[in-house]
Structure 1
């Protein structure tokens, strides 16, 4: 994929001199990736997935719990004995207390390899989180790039309408001078004025569209909406992309497709995890307990303490649970089958999107060549028609038609270049090569 690497270097490189006020596409992408909230959210979710991927969460490490309690009692005693064996016992406000302190440990030694399955599952979830972040970044890069070139397109259209307005202005001055000296009609003068106003309205509307596009671009970069910037006013295309390389790269590198494949792996691991629960679980258990008592009554044990340490093995197995475990395993297998179908469906959609976008890309490239020829001819016709109009050979209507054709030809050329560029960006995104 050496061609893609070289193409991407050109794609992200500054296109002109490194002036401070000049915003290059590379700078815009860096600002967007750094500041965009959606990317920050994706990265935070990726951190959560990384935290979840631990030995303790998978069940490899023992669990140790500690308990402690202390109880106080205040009691009264009123006792008498048969046969006068001993004097009556009468006490009140007797203070007693007791306490317990203990620790218990359980360490799973075997659970049908469920721990290993969970470890692999958390690892794949972390990989999935990384791919989802990568997909979000690629989508953002594609959006920033398309909007960047849309600004260029809008500015080129502004310049195109300005040139048309200049022609209308020259025609208006000439028609006015002819009318004032009696060589031209009032109809030609008014027609020139109407056409000039029409072109000026078109320019105002286009300038508004250009400004709104820049505001949206600043919002995309999380900047001040009214922050001004300059960009190079050209739409450059990469060397011709090859469909065979795009398909090969898309099937191996597209982050959305890779994410679907990872989801399929996770579904398979879910099935294995449920199957492991059908096997016995063996735990090493141990515990230690310490208790003490202080008796304020005048009989029995006054003070005492005891401690106990125990250890052993514990085995548990699910013998029958109403077929619920069997049902869960069946559903997990069905989910794995669904995930496999989703992978194939995504492959089909991906290749279809590539084909459609490539058709648009090729047609736009062909249109560029055609409209370049048309625009060259239209510019020559403008010069010829205006010279003929100045000497009175051509009519205002003829000059207006030639002017419209020239503006329309350049507009079509701008649109063809923009369409080719957006299709080019989308092809690179689908092939997984924006990063």
Structure 2
């Protein structure tokens, strides 16, 4: 019995420890999202395929080597392979052939070399595309994380305000019961309490929804046991605004993966044009063949002395083996304008890639300019919200003093409290809006996402 109780205690302790909810930090969320995102895994598979293409391109520069063998049975008229003499009669013979052959492209307009160069460029381009996807995921996770923080902080404020209103409600209820205050004051406070209780319920829903959204970005399905660290963040110090938008844009051009990916597409299109032009040039191919044969057909002796003979298997392999080698030159003269049209298509693709590159740079400049303006705008909005909140709190304290001594009715007091609630919500919202815009601008300057 004692052993059973010990076992139950151990099992209970294990489940209690494992039942503790993990609290995720922003850095942990970003790292987990990058390591486990399905789109990233698909892009990584694409990158592996591209690296295989690079191996294929290298293999095209090397000579091939193939072996061949055949065997056949012949019944009827036969040519004796040892003497090339016909044998009359219904003779059954066995014949076999075997050999090796190798081919190598000596020159094809340098297309094989340029194909290998293109494969390397494509691998670099795929890596930039993968890194750009990771950047987007980091920004999305940071935004979702800050949204959870904002909703949690707003929920804390709503609960605190509701608790204060409940205390006022209990006090006013006593005053109404004692006949000091009119019943209308009680009804007004009850309405305020009900409204704040609804705000608490709505806040809890917003926290839950934002947690689910963040969990989905991380591709975590256990929503009930997923939560972020319960921390309250102030606006982090940053000197990013010491730089102009032009300086931030110039810095972004040097390291942004979307720009590098766009530039790599230009390089790929340029290499494709070189490969297409290579088809105008002749192709020179070298070849080498080795072969031998065996036959069990019997025939007259080659010196006419009469009788028949058949050399052995090994002897025939040595007697009838031979090699051939040489080179073949193909000069393109006319192929229905196929080469010319491929070159024209490649030129169009190159021009399209160059235009897309310029468009991507303009888009990045516009994004950086917008991010810069947003930081200034939301900073001022946050400062204004703090000033408004401070003024609303002073007004509320004054209203509460007047309400407590009966110089203000419950309706006006409720209005003062509602204005404080709205100011609190606005301050929280603008704070996290400002933090996120600040982190975006820092991200374009090459500063990793962190709330420290």
TM-score (norm 2): 0.82
Q: Is the 8 A contact 1:247 1:354 kept in 2?
A: yes
Give ranges in structure 2 of 5+ residues lacking alignment. Answer: 1-20, 78-87, 301-306
In structure 2, the partner of 1:178 is 175
Of 281, 289, 292, which aligns to 1:290?
292
Unaligned runs of 5+ in 1: 1-19, 78-88
> In 2, Cα distance between the equivalents of 1:315 and 1:156?
78
For residues 195 and 95 of structure 1, the distance between their equivalents in structure 2, rounded to whole angstroms, comes to 111
Distance 2:423 2:401 in 1: 20
Counterpart for residue 398 of structure 1:
412
Match of 2:10 in 1: none
Residue 319 of structure 1 is matched in structure 2 by 333
Residues 55, 386 of structure 1: alpha-carbon distance in 2 compared, 3 angstrom cutoff: same
Give, in angstroms, the shift of residue 227 of structure 1: 2.0
* Pairing partner for 1:127 from 105, 124, 128: 124
2:249 & 2:202 partners in 1: Cα distance? 41
Aligned to 2:209: 212
Deviation at 1:206, TM superposition (A): 1.1
Match in the other structure for 1:250: 252
Alignment match, 2:37 = 36
Post-superposition offset of 1:387:
2.5
Q: Is the 8 A contact 2:141 2:214 kept in 1?
A: yes
SS of equivalent to 1:309? strand
Could you give the per-residue CA deviations for residues 20-52 of structure 1, whole angstroms, max 9, x where no partner exists?
Answer: 954322222222222222222222222222222
Match of 2:360 in 1: 346
RMSD value over aligned CA atoms?
2.5
Following the alignment from structure 2 to structure 1, what is the Cα–Cα distance between the partners of residues 66 and 440?
A: 55
SS at 1:54 equivalent:
helix
1:429: how far off? 4.1
Residue 145 of structure 1: SS of its match in structure 2?
A: helix
Contact 1:358 1:427 in 2 (8 A): yes
2:24 partner SS: coil
* TM-score, length of structure 1 as denominator length: 0.86
The residue correspondences of 1:138-157 to structure 2 (distance < 5 A) are 138-157=135-154
Matches within 5 A, 1:361-372: 361-372=375-386
Is the 1:111–1:277 contact (alpha carbons within 8 Å) kept by the matching residues of 2?
A: yes
Relative to structure 1, the CA distance from residue 418 to residue 173 in structure 2 (aligned partners, 3 Å threshold; closer, same or farther) is same
The Cα shift of 1:57 comes to 3.9
1:365: Cα distance to partner? 0.6
Q: Distance in 1 between matches of 2:309 and 2:30?
A: 80
User: How far is the alpha carbon of 1:187 from its aligned partner?
Assistant: 2.3
Secondary structure in 2 matching 1:295: coil
Q: Is 1:111–1:279's contact at 8 Å kept on the other side of the alignment? A: yes
- Residues 161-183 of structure 1 show CA distances to partners (whole Å, capped at 9, x for unaligned) of 11221232123222211221112
Match of 1:357, SS state, is helix
- Residue correspondences, number: 403
Query: Offset at 1:417?
Result: 1.4
User: Equivalences for 1:354-433 in 2 at 5 Å?
Assistant: 354-431=368-445, 433=447
